[in-house]
Every structure is written in C-alpha cells, then in structure tokens.
C-alpha cells in the first residue's frame, strides 16, 4: 500500500462527506430560464443555460487537491435538475429522512425549493411532459411494474469517451464546428438552419467549458497568493497553469490529461444528469503516452503518477448519483453513479492492450478501495494471465471490483450491430454491463422489463391478479392449454404486446428529448455530431442504439421449466392445482413448493432440460425487441441486467411456479435463481453460456465465492481459468462477490461495525449496510460456491 | 459396466492440476479414525437424514415398505434398525430431508457428466480425479472409466490409499496419468491402530509404482496428535526422497465430517477421542 498523507486526507474527506442536496444548480437554471423564454432555438437555449452554469456555479478547490472541480459547490453537495424532474417538498423530506441512501436537505434548501424552484418548474419539467404524453395502456403497465422508464428523471446516458480529448482542446473542437458551419448548404439542405443552431450551440458550450477552466485557474492563483506553505503555493500555481491550458488546448502531460477529462466529466454531468454519469473509457490506453513521455523526460515518476491518479479517483467518489424519486429510487437505491473505467482489452488495431498504466491503475484501485469510480477489466484472449490474476488478487479482498468482461466478445457484439471493427475494438462496457462504441455511440437504456410479470399475466389470461385489471391481451385460460408450446405462444404474445407498448412510449420520449432537451456539450464529444450538425439526442452520434433491459431470466427459466416438467411432461401437477397453489402463495402446500424447488430441473446446473427453456426465453425476448427501429436512425437491442430492480419487480409479482413466494426478489441478471445452482461455478458458467451472448449488448452474471476458495494461489488460478473458460464459451461478463454469509449476517446485526463492507450487488459495488433488507437477504441467499475439500 | 458412486463434484481445484471433476467411488477397505467422508466407507447405499429440512408432510411414513418411519407429534422418527436403506422414503421426500447416499451408475452416465466440463479441463490443464472411498476397490469399473477418459483425452488422477492387491494396481496403472497417493503413517503399528489395517501393502505398492516411473503426488493428512508428529513426517519425507517423488501435499485436518456422522446416525470417534 502506498498512499501519501495528502491522498489519505482527501480520501477520508470523501468518505466522511455527507451527501446533501445543493440547490445551486436549480437556482441558476431557474434564474436563467426566467430570462430566456424568447425566440431562441432549443439547442442554443440549452447551450446558453450551460454557459450560465459554467460562469456562475461555485468554484471549489479543496485543501491539498491536485485535480480540481466539483459537480456541486463542495464534495457530495449534489445538484438537482428541475428541468428534468422537479422534486416536491415531500420528496425532499423523504430524501432527508430515509434510512438508506439519504441526502441531507437543509431548511434553507427546503425554503428555496418551496419559494423558487417548485413554483417555477412544477408541471413544466420533462417528467411532467413525459407522463402527460403516455397512453393509458403505458401508464397501466408502468404502474403494475411490467416495465420501468429510465428517461423520466435522468437524461439519456451510459456515454463513454474515446481518446479525442487527449488530442484536441476545446479550441480545436471550435475549429471543427466552424468548418461544419461553413459547409452548410442552405440551398439544398432543408435542415441547414437546424444544423446551424445546433452547431452554434456546440460552439457556445466549448467556450463555456474554457471559461469554467479559467475560473478554476483564477481561484487557484488567488489561493496561491494567500498560501503560506511554499510547497502548496507551488502546487496551486501549477494547478492554475494546468487549468489555463486545458480544456482550451490539448493536454501536454499526465496532470493536464486528467484535469481535462475531469472538466469534461463535470461539464457533461452539469449540463444534464445522464445515466451512469460519464465515463473515460480505456483510461490505461489513453494515459499511456503521457505516462511514458513523463518518465522518459524525467518530468514524472511512477509515484507521482500514482498520486495524481489517486486524486483523480477521489473526485469520482465525491459525486453521488443524482437523487431520484418514486419507483426509480427503488430501481437503483445507491450512491453509485456507475462511471466505469475500463482496463486492458485490445487496441484499435487488435493488439494486446494491457500496458504498464494498466497495472498502475490496478494498484490505485486496490489502494483507494472506493465505491466510485466503478472499474472493470476487459479480458481478451490476447491478454496475459498475469493481468487477470492481478485483478483477481483485488477481487479476493472482497470489495467487488473490478468486474470482468470479455473484450473479444464485446467487439463481436458491436460488429453484429453494424459497427466497424476498429470502432468495436475501441468500445467496451459502461454502467453495469452495457456495451458501446466509445466516443461514437448513443446507446440508451430505456427501462427494465419484468419478464416474470408477463408470465404471471399469461397465466391469468392477461389479468393482473394483484388488481384484477385486464392489462394485456386475452391469450386464453391456461387450463385449456394442451401443450407447453401453446403456453409459450401465449407468453410470446403477451411479451410482444408489452414491448409494443414500451417502444411506443420510448418513441415519444426520444422525440421529447430531441426537441426540448438537446445536449450540445455532450454532442461536442461524440462523433459525428459536429460533422452531421445534429444533437446527441437526435441521431447525431455515428451509432444509435436503444435498449430495453430484460430482468428475471433465471426465475423465468425455472418457472417455465416447472410448468413444462410437472404439468405437461410428467403430469405430476395439473395446471389447476399449480395455479391454486400460486394463488394461495403455497400456504398449506409446502410439499408442492418443495416439489417445485427440488424436483424440477433448474437453470444454472448445466442441465439441458432447464437450459433449453432458458434459451427459449432468451430467444423470445430477443425476437420481441431486437431490430426494431428507434427514432434516431438506429435499432433496438437487448441486454440482461437488473441493477437492483429485481427486488422491486419481485415485490409486484405473486408466487411463481419455480416455488418463489409472493413478493420476494427475482433472480438477477442472467444468474440462476438464488440457491438454485447446486453444481458449482463451472455448471453455472456452462448454463449461462448457452444463450447467444453475441446477440446482446450485455449480460450480467454474478458469482459468490467465500474467501476460503480464493485464499491461495490455487484458488486464484482457478478463478482465472474459470473466467477464461466462460469467455472461451462466449460469455459476456462475470463478477465475483467474495464474502462469507456469516460476515454478512454479522453486518446485518451490527451495521455500525461493517460500514466499510463493500459488496458487488448486481453490476456494481455498494456498501452492504446501505442496501435494503430485502437486497441484503437476497445476497446472503445467493449460492455460495465452495470447493468441497 | 456399472459401479457405485456417492458423489460427483465439479470445480475441484485441490485434487490434482487445474480445474477437475472428482468422482467419488463408494466403499473403502480402511477405517481411518478421522475420515471426513464416512458415507464413503460402506460399499452399500446408506440413508442420510437432515431433520432440520423436514416439513412434516409424512410422505415418507407411507412410502416405507418396512414400516420403519413414524410421525410423532408432527416429527418424523426413523427406526434405523428396521431401515433397509432402500431409499423409498428419499424418493418422496421433496424437501430433501432424506437422502439415499450411493447410487449405481454406468460408465456412460459418469462420462456424460465428466464430459460436461471438458472446456474447463482444456483451459486449465485439468481433468478427472477418481476418489472415494477407495477407487481401487471397484477395479473393473475404475478401469473402464480410465479407458473412457483416455479415449477422450481427458487427464486422469486416482486418489488412492494404496490398499489393494498389486495385481489390481498393475492392471490399472497404465491408464492413470497421476496417482494422488495417500500416506498417513509410516509406523506399522500406528497405521494398524488408526486405520484398521497394516501399511505393508500400501508401502509396497507405492514403491512398485515409483520404480515404474509413474507420476505420483504424496498426500499426507495432517491429523493433530496422530500423523503430525515430527518423526512421522520426517520418515515420509525421507521415503519420498528415496523414491524420487517430487510433490508432497499436506492436507489440513478439518472437522466438517462431524456433521455427516450425525446425519448417518453414527458416532464420530475422532470427536469422542478428543
């Protein structure tokens, strides 16, 4: 472990900072919008709003910092975005008082909201607009928990940067914009004026970020003048120099590169509140030239680089995810904002991408042990085992990071979607497990889709048994079905219906964002928005994908396998008896429940009888979603991840034929039902590999290990080989939770003693004690894979 | 060709190189005091009970052809004297409170399961380990499995106590890639006392295998107060050196077997003795 006093202090400051609501951004936006209701195009209005924020938001330089700038006025002072979603006073009270993931809301903040923010924005936010535009059918499905909606509180996101900012300053982007403007053909192109407005907006945003940098330079200079400590004085002068050079110009060294990225990160996450914040992507590859040059020219040592990177890491941890309200808060109850840094993989020309900065960053991850940023290793068959093993040593410490991705498969997935090979190799993962062509794609996750809820509706002829309401089409009384195929056809019909409803809603929402909330600053950063003169939200990106995230694959597989096996194949249960047991939530029918749990082939055991059903569920979902056009010139794709929504989705479903009691969590990602996998991790991996991962944009597989399995070198090698084999079988992603159940129980009983316990939840890491009790229970229940020595 | 096994465990990473599948053959000629797989000792099927899983449905009561099971105050009571270990109760026990340990399987059935993890063997340099019980106690079955593995180019290890006639060892050895050879005690009297048999045959077989150049890893269970004294370990080391055996694995003692004795309705002598 190596951590300078400075880093230790900043890290502790970050850990100790209490997440609080800052009204600064909301106040600035309100003031701006009050004065700018005139004849301004939407992109230019958003650009001017962005400039107003960059000119007026508080400049924060914390004591001892080397990398500067905060999203709010201080660490963990969290801005709000009332133009998207305006919190009510009640929302603020809940945020302030809730047990998990609270945000402190001061009296003053409440007053500002009551007097200024709410009167101006209530009824006029994007969220209000979206709900006003949705059909009754959409609202009924949404309220029943068939799907969630990502865009009602946060803007389209999951965006990852490529290497462009390391070669170009904002002045260079301005030159590109000017060229694009000069090339507009007003005679032949009916969209020329719209493009002109978009490009003008982007230009304003570049200036805004330069201004933001200069304000930090000025603040650093002022601090330097007042500083008594000569060393700190020198540092502050250097910070001033760095912030004068970037973001206006391309960075010249590692310090400038990191500071530039950080300004860009703040710009994107202050402009709007995109999902998963913003991501630097292949940081090890981007930083390598700066690192090597620094060493060669003796202007940088490894220790200095490490300290700069540690300071950079802490900046991410200072930014909790924007606080949400309602169902969305249940979808992802976490402070993590899912910025995910990718390590390793391959280079654009297909060579081994692991370099010395990769190992340096792995050291930083291990030393920092922070919730944010999330980190992943991108594993290619071309990478050395040493790389995975080094990551496994960190995974073993039980902090849930880094997660592990199949870089070669991700490239295949992206190529299948129509990306060029080079763009695909330069892509990777972001957020939980979603994939994209870094710096060139807008890939929008639009909401989780509750597959087991659709099965429940299928088993009730389209009626939601919780409310008695006819939600879906009438696909027949299942008691009349004579074959499993008939049942499956009914499920597929219900599935297609609800995907139709969701996609129709998405089309409206995509257009609302394009029309009212363009993102001109983000558009500067993503190819080919400048060349096309189009916004990121309106098809400006080179590639445009829209995702609906399938949830509950394991539950679905086991439930359908139980129906197939017991009702149609073996005749151990009649449909009538099974439905009656479900309606009774198995009360008085424990024997039936045990039959379903223990005498049914189950997904996750390399048992073809169950896995074949899983593949059918997967294919049906793929067929229902993939290839549909979105409104941005791209296509719909699928991925399979839940974050924490499998708990909420489970809460709206009664008992299911896999023996799951009413209201309990669904399986998460593509992991087997909690406790259903009884043949060890190789069987899980084999089962999971039977779906065609190439046709997804990401799947999430969670494996829990007790520390004992990985305690020695043999265990670490076993982990490496498990990963290698899963990836050879074209698995997308695997993550490991290394912690024992006894520890988790102890943490539940004495949370105060286990505040630091970080666990991998479902695509990200979180503090165990911050999780809801249901999620805690679910993690404990998840199968522990031990070797049976 | 069939044999009796009591378990197949995948992702074995401590029973030979790489990721392996361990096939546990039932029946053992030794009775080591510390045995952590008591269900492996008898060649016949046995009944394991986990009363905490019982839901009191009473299905087993009706299923038992011997009338050995009764429901008393909502609790199931089994008369182990009358129990014939037929497994009829386990077949209807959906809650898995009753499990019949030991099943007769064909070579094809074992191989089907073994072959599922070939991608892992290939990646890790792993394979199959035949353990027990004592695999050499079912020589024909074991030989057929070994030959089937070789045909499929799957690496094999045999985890043996070495207590078998040389003719048996000799008939199998050319099909085995690696012997995991358990050696507990060099002192003959001690060996007899703690395992129920002399070690003369074991030592002779070991020597014969080593002389013929077979790959051997010695495995020494480190049992507190029994095998862990300095003299014993020194003698084992000396023997290994003499025979040119490079690899000695120490297997730490753990008491996880104690729970199994309880499930089998047996006494764990190791615990009693301590």
* pLDDT tens by residue, A650-683: 999 999 999 999 999 999 999 999 878 888 899 9
Boundary (domain end) residue, out of B54, B81, B101: B101
Q: Provide the shortest C-alpha distance from residue B76 to chain A (in Å).
A: 15
Neighbours of A1 (CB within 10 A): 6
Within this chain, do residues B124 and B225 fall inside the same structural domain, yes or no? yes
Within this chain, do residues B15 and B90 fall inside the same structural domain, yes or no? no
Kindly determine whether residue B116 and residue A606, on different chains, have CB atoms separated by under 8 Å: yes
Output the 3-class SS for A39-51: CCCHHHHHHHHHH
Please give the pLDDT value at position A708.
66
Predicted confidence (pLDDT) per residue in A358-392, tens digit: 999 999 999 999 989 999 999 999 999 999 999 99
Mean pLDDT, all residues of chain A? 93
pLDDT level of residue A783 (50, 70, 90 thresholds):
very low
List the single range of A259-273, A493-507, A758-772 with lowest mean pLDDT.
A758-772
Chain A / chain B CB contacts < 8 angstroms: 73
Within this chain, do residues B97 and B189 fall inside the same structural domain, yes or no? no
Residue A776 has pLDDT above 90, yes or no: no
pLDDT level of residue A778 (50, 70, 90 thresholds):
confident
Find the CATH number of the domain harbouring B126: 3.20.20.70
Catalytic residue among A65, A331, A434, A778: A434
pLDDT level of residue A303 (50, 70, 90 thresholds):
very high
Within this chain, do residues B254 and B127 fall inside the same structural domain, yes or no? yes
Within this chain, do residues B211 and B134 fall inside the same structural domain, yes or no? yes
Q: Measuring CA to CA, which residue among A421, A439, A634, A414 is closest to residue A530?
A: A439
Q: Any chain B CB within 8 A of the CB of A604?
A: no
What is the DSSP pairing of strand A374-379 with strand A403-406? Answer: parallel
Kindly determine whether residue B57 and residue A729, on different chains, have CB atoms separated by under 8 Å: no
Q: Is A432 a catalytic residue?
A: yes
Within this chain, do residues B89 and B62 fall inside the same structural domain, yes or no? yes
pLDDT cut 70: percent of chain A above it: 95
Please give the pLDDT value at position A101.
87
Kindly determine whether residue B123 and residue A718, on different chains, have CB atoms separated by under 8 Å: no
Compute the distance between CA of residue B200 and CA of residue B177 in angstroms, rounded to an integer: 24
Boundary (domain end) residue, out of B101, B116, B131: B101
Answer for the pair A217, A243: CB distance below 8 angstroms, yes or no.
yes
Residue A1 has pLDDT above 90, yes or no: no
Q: Any chain A CB within 8 A of the CB of B61?
A: no
Please give the pLDDT value at position A354.
98
Where are the extended beta strands (E) located within chain B? Answer: 2-12, 20-25, 46-49, 69-72, 75-78, 98-101, 103-106, 127-132, 155-160, 178-182, 216-222, 247-252
Q: Any chain A CB within 8 A of the CB of B117?
A: yes
Within this chain, do residues B92 and B138 fall inside the same structural domain, yes or no? no
**A67-81, A764-778, B67-81, range with greatest mean pLDDT:** A67-81
Q: Any chain B CB within 8 A of the CB of A712?
A: no
- Section A715-735 average pLDDT: 96
Range of the domain at B91: 46-101
Kindly determine whether residue B9 and residue A680, on different chains, have CB atoms separated by under 8 Å: yes
| B chain contacts of residue A787, beta-carbon cutoff 8 Å | 11-14
Mean pLDDT, all residues of chain B? 93
Backbone angles phi, psi at A657, to 5 degrees: -65, -5
Within this chain, do residues B257 and B226 fall inside the same structural domain, yes or no? yes
Match 């992702």 to its residue by tokens: B11
Please give the pLDDT value at position A233.
98
Write down the number of H helices and E strands in chain B. Answer: 11, 12
pLDDT level of residue A315 (50, 70, 90 thresholds):
very high
Within this chain, do residues B93 and B115 fall inside the same structural domain, yes or no? no
Q: Any chain A CB within 8 A of the CB of B222?
A: no
Which of B59, B94, B123 is opposite residue A725, by nearest beta carbon? B123
List the single range of A196-200, A501-505, A616-620, B70-74 with lowest mean pLDDT.
B70-74
Kindly determine whether residue A724 and residue B57, on different chains, have CB atoms separated by under 8 Å: no
Q: Any chain B CB within 8 A of the CB of A784?
A: no
Catalytic residue among A407, A432, A529, A769: A432
Within this chain, do residues B171 and B252 fall inside the same structural domain, yes or no? yes
Please give the pLDDT value at position B165.
97
Residue B274 has pLDDT above 50, yes or no: no
- Section A759-768 average pLDDT: 58
Burial class (CB in 10 A: 0-12, 13-18, 19+), B71: middle
Please give the pLDDT value at position A328.
59
pLDDT level of residue A788 (50, 70, 90 thresholds):
very low
Burial class (CB in 10 A: 0-12, 13-18, 19+), B58: middle
Kindly determine whether residue A721 and residue B123, on different chains, have CB atoms separated by under 8 Å: yes
Helix (H) or strand (E) segment spanning residue A739:
none
Please give the pLDDT value at position A679.
87
Q: Measuring CA to CA, which residue among A536, A716, A556 is closest to residue A158?
A: A536
Which of A594, A724, A725 is opposite residue B94, by nearest beta carbon? A594
Please give the pLDDT value at position B14.
87
Within this chain, do residues B77 and B170 fall inside the same structural domain, yes or no? no
Q: Any chain B CB within 8 A of the CB of A785?
A: yes
Residue A764 has pLDDT above 60, yes or no: no
Beta strands across the sheet bearing A441-450: A441-450, A543-551, A635-639
Please give the pLDDT value at position A327.
59
Predicted confidence (pLDDT) per residue in B194-244, tens digit: 999 999 999 999 999 999 999 999 999 999 899 999 999 999 999 999 999
Boundary (domain end) residue, out of B82, B101, B120: B101
- Section A534-562 average pLDDT: 98
Kindly determine whether residue A725 and residue B19, on different chains, have CB atoms separated by under 8 Å: yes
In sequence order, what are the beta bridge partners of A375? A341
Please give the pLDDT value at position B253.
77
The nearest alpha carbon in chain B to A728 belongs to B119
Backbone angles phi, psi at A698, to 5 degrees: 130, 140
Q: Is A434 a catalytic residue?
A: yes
Please give the pLDDT value at position A23.
98
Please give the pLDDT value at position B255.
62
Predicted confidence (pLDDT) per residue in B66-82, tens digit: 999 999 888 899 999 99
Residue that wins the pLDDT comparison between A577 and A396: A577
Please give the pLDDT value at position A789.
28
Kindly determine whether residue A788 and residue B124, on different chains, have CB atoms separated by under 8 Å: no
Q: Any chain A CB within 8 A of the CB of B18?
A: yes
| B chain contacts of residue A599, beta-carbon cutoff 8 Å | 94
Backbone angles phi, psi at A510, to 5 degrees: -60, -40
Q: Provide the shortest C-alpha distance from residue A647 to chain B (in Å).
A: 26
Number of domains chain B contains: 2
Within this chain, do residues B95 and B146 fall inside the same structural domain, yes or no? no
Predicted confidence (pLDDT) per residue in A27-46, tens digit: 999 999 999 878 899 999 99
Please give the pLDDT value at position B251.
86
List the single range of A189-198, A528-537, B31-40 with lowest mean pLDDT.
B31-40
Find the CATH number of the domain harbouring B63: 3.30.70.20
The nearest alpha carbon in chain B to A682 belongs to B11
- Is the pTM here over 0.90, yes or no? yes
Please give the pLDDT value at position A752.
58
Residue B175 has pLDDT above 70, yes or no: yes
Kindly determine whether residue A725 and residue B18, on different chains, have CB atoms separated by under 8 Å: no
Predicted confidence (pLDDT) per residue in A97-133, tens digit: 888 889 999 999 999 999 999 999 999 999 999 999 9
Compute the distance between CA of residue B221 and CA of residue B182 in angstroms, rounded to an integer: 8
- Section A501-507 average pLDDT: 98
Residue A767 has pLDDT above 80, yes or no: no
Structure tokens at B268: 């764990």
């Amino acid at each position: 472990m190596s951590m300078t006093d400075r880093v230790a202090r900043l890290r502790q400051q970050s850990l100790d900072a209490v997440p609080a609501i800052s009204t600064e951004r909301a106040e600035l936006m309100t003031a701006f919008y009050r004065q700018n209701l005139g004849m301004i195009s939407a992109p230019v209005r958003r650009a001017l709003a962005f400039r107003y924020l960059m000119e007026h938001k508080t400049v924060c330089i914390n004591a001892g910092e080397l990398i500067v700038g905060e999203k709010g006025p201080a660490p963990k002072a969290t801005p709000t975005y009332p133009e998207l979603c305006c919190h009510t006073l009640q929302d603020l009270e809940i945020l302030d008082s809730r047990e998990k993931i609270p945000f402190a809301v001061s009296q003053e903040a409440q007053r500002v909201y009551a007097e200024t923010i709410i009167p101006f924005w209530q009824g006029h936010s994007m969220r209000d607009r979206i709900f006003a535009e949705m059909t009754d059918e959409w609202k009924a499905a949404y309220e029943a928990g068939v799907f969630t909606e990502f865009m009602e509180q946060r803007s389209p996101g999951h965006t990852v940067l490529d290497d462009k900012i390391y070669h170009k300053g904002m002045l260079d982007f301005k030159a590109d914009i000017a060229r694009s403007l000069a090339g507009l053909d007003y005679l032949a192109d009916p969209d020329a004026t719209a493009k002109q407005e978009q490009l003008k907006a982007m230009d304003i945003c570049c200036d805004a970020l330069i201004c933001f940098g200069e304000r930090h330079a000025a603040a650093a200079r002022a601090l330097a003048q007042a500083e008594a400590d000569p060393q700190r004085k020198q540092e502050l002068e250097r910070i001033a120099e760095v912030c004068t050079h970037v973001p206006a110009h391309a960075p010249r060294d590692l310090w400038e590169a990191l500071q530039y990225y950080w300004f860009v990160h703040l710009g994107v996450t202050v402009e709007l509140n995109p999902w998963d914040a913003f991501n630097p992507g292949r940081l090890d590859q981007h930083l390598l030239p700066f690192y090597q040059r620094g060493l060669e020219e003796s202007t940088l040592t490894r220790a200095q680089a490490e300290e700069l990177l540690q300071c950079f890491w802490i900046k991410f941890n200072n930014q909790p995810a924007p606080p949400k309200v309602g169902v969305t808060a249940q979808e992802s109850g976490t402070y993590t904002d899912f910025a995910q840094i990718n390590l390793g993989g391959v280079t654009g020309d297909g060579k081994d991408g692991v370099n010395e900065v990769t190992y340096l960053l792995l050291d930083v991850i291990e030393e920092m042990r922070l919730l944010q940023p999330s980190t992943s290793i991108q594993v290619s068959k071309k990478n050395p085992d040493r790389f995975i093993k080094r990551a496994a040593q960190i995974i073993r410490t039980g902090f849930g990071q880094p997660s592990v991705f199949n870089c070669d498969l991700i490239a295949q997935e992206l190529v299948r979607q129509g990306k060029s090979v080079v763009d695909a190799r330069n892509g990777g993962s972001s957020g939980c497990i979603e994939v994209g062509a870094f710096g060139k794609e807008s890939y929008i996750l639009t909401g989780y889709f509750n597959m087991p809820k659709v099965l429940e509706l299928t088993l009730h002829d389209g009626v939601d048994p919780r409310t008695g309401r006819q939600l879906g089409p009438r696909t027949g009384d299942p008691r009349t079905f004579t074959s499993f195929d008939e049942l499956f056809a009914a499920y597929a019909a219900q599935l297609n219906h609800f995907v139709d409803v969701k996609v129709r809603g998405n089309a409206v929402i995509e257009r609302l964002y394009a029309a009212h909330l363009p993102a001109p600053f983000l558009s500067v950063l993503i190819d080919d928005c400048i060349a096309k003169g189009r916004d990121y939200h309106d098809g400006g990106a080179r590639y445009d994908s829209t995702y609906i995230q399938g949830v509950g694959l394991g539950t679905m597989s086991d439930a359908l396998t139980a129906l197939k096996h017991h009702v149609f194949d073996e005749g151990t249960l009649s449909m009538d008896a099974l439905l009656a047991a479900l309606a009774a939530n198995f009360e008085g029918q424990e024997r039936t429940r045990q039959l379903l749990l223990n005498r049914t082939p189950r997904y996750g055991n390399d048992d073809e009888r169950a896995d074949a059903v899983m593949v059918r569920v997967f294919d049906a979902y793929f067929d229902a979603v993939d290839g549909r056009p979105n409104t941005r010139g791209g296509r719909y794709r699928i991925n399979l991840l839940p974050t924490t929504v499998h708990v909420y989705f489970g809460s709206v479903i009664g008992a299911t034929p896999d023996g799951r009691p009413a209201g309990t969590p669904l399986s998460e990602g593509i992991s087997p039902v909690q406790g259903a996998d009884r043949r060890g991790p190789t069987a899980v991996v084999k089962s999971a590999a039977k779906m065609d991962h190439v046709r997804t944009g990401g799947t999430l597989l969670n494996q829990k290990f007790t520390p004992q399995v990985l305690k020695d070198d043999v265990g670490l090698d076993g982990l490496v080989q498990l990963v290698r084999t899963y990836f050879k079988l074209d698995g997308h992603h695997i993550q490991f939770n290394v912690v024992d159940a006894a520890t988790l129980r102890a943490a539940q009983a004495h949370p105060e003693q286990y505040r630091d316990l970080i666990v991998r939840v479902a695509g990200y890491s979180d503090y165990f004690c911050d999780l809801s009790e249901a999620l805690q229970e679910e993690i404990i229940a998840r199968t522990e894979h031990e070797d049976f020595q | 060709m069939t044999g009796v096994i009591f378990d197949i465990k995948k992702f074995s990473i401590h029973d030979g190189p790489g990721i392996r599948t361990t096939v546990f053959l039932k029946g053992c000629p030794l009775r080591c005091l510390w045995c952590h797989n008591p269900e492996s000792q008898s060649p016949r099927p046995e009944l394991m009970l986990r009363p905490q899983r019982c839901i009191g449905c009473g299905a087993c009561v009706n299923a038992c052809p011997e009338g050995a099971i009764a429901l008393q105050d909502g609790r199931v009571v089994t008369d182990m004297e009358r129990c014939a270990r037929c497994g009829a109760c386990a077949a209807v026990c959906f809650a898995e409170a009753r499990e019949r340990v030991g099943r007769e399987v064909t070579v094809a059935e074992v191989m089907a399961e073994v072959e599922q993890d070939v991608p892992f063997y290939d990646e890790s340099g792993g394979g199959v380990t035949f353990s027990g019980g004592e695999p050499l106690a079912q020589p024909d079955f074991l030989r057929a499995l070994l030959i089937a593995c070789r045909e499929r180019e799957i690496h094999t290890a045999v985890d043996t106590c070495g207590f078998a006639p040389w003719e048996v060892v000799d008939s199998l050895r050319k099909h085995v890639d690696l012997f995991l050879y358990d050696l507990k005690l060099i002192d003959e009297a001690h060996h007899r006392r703690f395992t129920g048999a002399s070690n003369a045959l074991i030592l002779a077989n070991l020597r014969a295998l080593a002389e013929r150049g077979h790959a051997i890893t010695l495995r020494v269970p480190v049992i507190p107060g029994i095998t862990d004294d300095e003299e014993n370990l020194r003698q084992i080391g000396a023997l290994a050196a003499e025979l040119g055996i490079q690899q000695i694995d120490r297997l730490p003692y753990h008491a996880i077997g104690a729970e199994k004795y309880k499930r089998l309705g047996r006494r764990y002598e190791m615990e009693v003795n301590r």
